[in-house]
Each structure stands twice: as C-alpha cells, then as structure tokens.
C-alpha cells in the first residue's frame, strides 16, 4: 500500500453498514485506521490526521459487532508514529510499525527512518514490526535490492525487540522464504493478507507461520485461498481487513473497515467447518499469542 493507493481509497466514499454481530469476540489483525478515516500527511509534510472522535467512533463500531481487538499498522515513519500513539491511548488497539516494501523500493528506507522504526518497536504497545516484506507487483526490478535490504533490517528489529513480524508478500513467495531462512524468522511470523495457494500454505504451516486471511477469502475467483484456509490448522489462522482495502463480499468495491470483519470470519467458518463461536475463540487466542494481551500497558 502506497500513499497514492491511500489517496485513491479515500475517494471511494464511506464503508458500508455494519453486519450482524459475531457470537463471540474476534480480532482484526491488520487495519489502517488512518487511511479509513481520511487523508494523512506523508513523511516530512504537514497536515491533519483524523480527529480522535472519528477514530474512537470507528473503533467503537468494530467493538459493537464483536471486534474489540485491532492491530493498527504503519507503513512509513509518519503512520508508524501515529499507530504507536493511538495504541498508547486506546485499550482496543495495538500497533505494528514499519516501512512498507513499496516505500523501501522508492528509496525511503534510510538509516534515519529505520532507526525510528527501531525506536518505536521498543514501545510497550507496539507488538509487531510490519508490514514489511517484498512486493514484486508494484515495485519494479530497480527497487528489489532496496526492498530486500529493508526487509532484512525489519526482521532484525523484530527479533531484537522480541515482537512479531508481519509480512507483506506480493508475487514474491520464494524470495520471502529465502530471506526468512537466511536471516532466521522471528518466533511469531504472520503472512498478512495471505495470497498463496495450498502448496505455499502448507510450506508456511510447516514452518510455524500464521496465515491471516482478508476479505479476498470471500471473492468468487479465490478458490485457491479457500483451499489454503482448509489445510491451515485453526491455531495458525488469523483474520484481518487491511482496511480500507480488500472489502469482503457482499460489499466488494466499497471501502473496508474493521466493523466488516464478521463477513470474513463467517466465510472462514463455512470454509473450514469450524463452528463459528469456536472459531472466534480460536482467532482471539491466536491473536493474543502473536501480539500479546490487549490489556497489558
């Protein structure tokens, strides 16, 4: 996700209405509230972030449908700082901080920027480094070396602070594995918005990685994702929005929000055959194993 993608998302309008609440709480393991709620300043620029009242209302809307645990994810220095600050003041939110692979591919993973991510990763409510990884779709070959260098730096930051690693993997499955095996993956590693087939899912599961499924699971052309979910043990599953992107059916094409997670959870229950309440409990347990307790300061 880049700043240009964020701008496009913000012009699509408001997210659709909330669905029926879940029978038990479940998490949104990856959201971008700063983008859901409007334009945000880029690094080094001045601008207005969303008002606290708007942020709190969005979090409350998610809680009202059974999503009381959110992981707010940074993609550059500015949004990572904002994510850490939100998590510090809001009990429903934990933070992940990083420089997105596309940011790195454009030369923004400077020593100063990485040092700031390292500083933020030490904060008590920052529980993951990410989203980091490799993107061979939006970044051309000229940026791949910079992406990999940044990815390696983020892996080391996550391990140094003992927090989870949240991976962005787009058209780079084997390259991601190569870097993880070379660096040594953190104990808790999550493939955000899992996009692989069952063969890749099996390889991830065997390595102990957690697979997080987004609204793409509900898309008609995503049978391979549903097959991947079926072979993933319930203890290695998470759900997410990646909001405001990847809105689940029946609202595909409109902006996503954490309050829409129930659509994906219900789809995952149907696909895996796990009873809905049981699945909600399992997803919460996995989120707390990966990110720690939301109740800890």
Nearest to 71, CA basis, from 171, 229, 193:
193
**Count of Cβ atoms closer than 10 Å to residue 52 Cβ:** 11
Judge whether 34 is annotated as a binding position. Answer: no
Judge whether 168 is annotated as a binding position. Answer: yes
Give the list of residues 6+ apart from residue 179 with CB closer than 8 angstroms, or none: 134, 148, 151, 152, 155
Judge whether 32 is annotated as a binding position. Answer: yes
Nearest to 185, CA basis, from 210, 218, 202:
210
How are strands ordered across the β-sheet holding 164-170?
A: 27-31, 69-73, 93-97, 126-135, 164-170, 189-191, 210-213, 237-239
**206/208 Cα distance (integer angstroms):** 5
Contact 207, 178 (CB under 8 A): no
Q: Known binding site for a divalent metal cation: residues? A: 30, 32, 131, 168, 192, 242
Q: Known binding site: residues? A: 30, 32, 131, 168, 192, 242
């Amino acid at each position: 996700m880049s700043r240009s993608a964020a701008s496009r998302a913000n012009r699509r309008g408001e997210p659709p209405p909330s669905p029926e609440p879940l029978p038990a709480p479940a998490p949104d393991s990856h959201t971008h509230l700063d983008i859901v709620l409007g334009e945000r300043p880029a690094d080094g620029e001045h601008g207005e972030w969303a008002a606290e009242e708007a942020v709190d209302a969005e979090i409350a809307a998610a809680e009202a449908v059974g999503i009381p645990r959110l992981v707010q994810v940074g993609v550059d220095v500015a949004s990572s700082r904002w994510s850490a600050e939100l998590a510090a003041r809001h009990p429903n939110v934990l933070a992940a901080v990083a420089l997105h692979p596309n940011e790195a591919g454009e030369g923004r993973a400077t020593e100063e920027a990485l040092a700031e991510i390292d500083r933020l990763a030490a904060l008590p409510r920052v529980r993951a480094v990410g989203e980091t990884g490799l993107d061979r779709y939006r970044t051309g070959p000229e940026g791949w070396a910079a992406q990999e260098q940044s990815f390696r730096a983020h892996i080391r930051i996550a391990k140094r602070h003992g927090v989870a690693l949240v991976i962005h993997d787009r058209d780079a499955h084997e390259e991601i594995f190569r870097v993880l095996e070379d660096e040594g993956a953190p104990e808790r590693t999550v493939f955000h918005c899992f996009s692989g087939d069952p063969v890749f899912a099996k390889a991830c599961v065997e390595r102990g990685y957690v697979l997080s499924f987004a609204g793409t699971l509900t898309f008609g052309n995503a049978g391979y994702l549903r097959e991947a979910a079926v072979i993933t043990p319930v203890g290695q599953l998470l759900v997410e929005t990646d909001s405001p992107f990847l809105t689940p059916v029946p609202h595909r094409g409109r902006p996503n929000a954490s309050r829409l997670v129930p659509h994906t959870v219900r789809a995952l229950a149907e696909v895996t055959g796990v009873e809905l309440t049981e699945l909600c409990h399992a997803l919460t347990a996995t989120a707390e194993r990966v990110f720690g307790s939301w109740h800890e300061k």
